[in-house]
Amino acid sequence: MDSLTRTLPASWFCSLALYQLERRAVFLKSWHFLGPVTRFQSRSKKVTCEIAQVTIIVENRSPEHDGIDVDGITVYAEDENIKIKNHLTPSGLLFVTLSDNTPSFEDFFEGLEQLTNKVDFTKLPHRRSISYEGNFNWKTMYVSFYIDNTLTFSGLTGFKNVFTVNIVAHPTFSKFYPPTFYSVTNHKNFSQHMADPSKQSDGLFLYFFPICTLNVYGGGMSSFRTLPSTKPGVSRMEFEYYHSGTDEVFEEYFNFVRQVAIEDFELCEKAQENLERGVYGEGILNPVKENGVQFYQQRVKELVYKQHASEKSAKDERINATQLPVGVVEESKVIAVQ
């Protein structure tokens, strides 16, 4: 039993001090997905994002023309003189990082572009964006994203995996993605969800650690970010929808994915209430059915512990640097008395 992974304690979903440590350990040292290049084609409107209390502005400064432009995309902070480090994949996905201490994109998301390069994201126009607050910790939403209906996560019973709900609830979806084959494959800082491992090229369902998802299927693409606030029990959800079909086809697609998102949102708020009231007990994660939750929770824990140890070591060094050795102090006192 000792080798099995336990769920995070409730304090990790409710503590302000722990979020501040997460901010330094996780958010400032990760790559974050902002969207495909089609999101940033308007020359008259800047796209503003905020991740972990850092404002990011994306602007397309190229001359207006009919095609998709990537060369003019510029990313900077609230102070326009501060450039934000970014990476654009060959397939047209834009990622940013908030610190120079972050590993290179290729190291952080090792092997990711082999998957994303199978899709031409410049062909999916941006159709709609939605943003609103939710009364839950950012990690609560990703428990929902990963855990399926037969979960063992004590205290959060009732959570449904977003992708599993898609399969079960939609007849057309279930025809192509039978739920009996559902699995999660974890990579370095990202996970791939697969409805049928024998058809890995059919649809693309990804989770980018720590806060982003990307789902491509049915002629469209959706993504969401769960953005932490300074209150550990409050997050902001940001959804982006892309589709190449007619308005009528897009609305059908949009209504379906929104229904799933709303159901999940309500479950997250109820789960957070239980976490804050103490109606929660740590449990053992199933290493097969809940390997996605195990992956991201262990990654958070690993980075937080590493950051805490690093800061403690630095603090101890500063304290030691201000204290002279005992022998030196005694000798100094003697000279002063004379």
Predicted local distance difference test score (pLDDT) of residue 197: 61
Predicted local distance difference test score (pLDDT) of residue 109: 98
Hey, where are the domains in the chain? 10-29+113-310
Predicted local distance difference test score (pLDDT) of residue 326: 52
Picking from 214, 210, 241, 207, the residue whose alpha carbon sits closest to that of residue 228 is: 210
Read off the tokens for 194: 């697969």
Helices (H), the chain: 16-25, 105-108, 112-116, 138-146, 162-169, 171-176, 247-277, 291-321, 326-337
List Cβ neighbours of 133 (8 Å cut-off, separation of 6 or more): 229, 234, 235, 236, 237
pTM for the full predicted model: 0.85
Residues of the chain predicted below pLDDT 50: 1, 147-172, 175, 327-338
Predicted local distance difference test score (pLDDT) of residue 177: 56
Q: Does domain 10-29+113-310 have CATH number 3.60.40.10?
A: no
Integer-rounded Cα radius of gyration of the chain: 23
pLDDT tens by residue, 231-264: 999 999 999 999 999 999 999 989 988 887 888 8
